[in-house]
Amino acid sequence: MGCSTSKIPSIVKTIGEGAFYNLKMEEIEIPSSVESIEKWAFMYCQQLKSVISKVVTPFEFGEDAFGNIGSNCVLTVPEGTKDAYIAAGWTEDIFKGGIVEASEYDANGDGRTTIVDVTRLVDKIIGK
């Protein structure tokens, strides 16, 4: 089970059934290692504003994995993968805030590369 400040480790392959069910979280990053998301994983995370997926090859997820999430939640996906995500069921019916593509330099996942991203990347490099 996760908590509202959880960070999913980069070794996780499956986000289990109900792992973040009904938590008061605003953002979650799904690392590229994830291969499946089971049913109800993020259900009722109604404060969720941003899901940042680093998964390059999207997959279908379990029943209501993102059921009743934040009404304006934005899904950010790797550049060039939006159509594949939609084909796998990650649609704007679920992510009502839209689906945006991010470049590898978009550190904050907002779909743009700005000075904020550069600052975050530099901080990461120097260990801040």
Task: Please name each of the domains of the chain with its CATH number.
Answer: 14-126 (3.40.50)
Note whether 107 and 121 are within 8 A (CB): yes
pLDDT at position 87 is 97
List pLDDT tens digits, range 73-99: 999 999 899 999 999 999 999 999 999
Residues of the chain with pLDDT under 70: 1-5, 103-113, 117, 121, 124, 128
pTM: 0.80
Give the Å distances, CA to CA, from 125 to 8, 23, 97, 118.
Answer: 21, 31, 31, 11
Q: Could you report the per-residue pLDDT of 21-30, keeping only the tens digit for each?
A: 999 999 999 9
pLDDT of residue 59: 96
User: What is the pLDDT at residue 77?
Assistant: 94
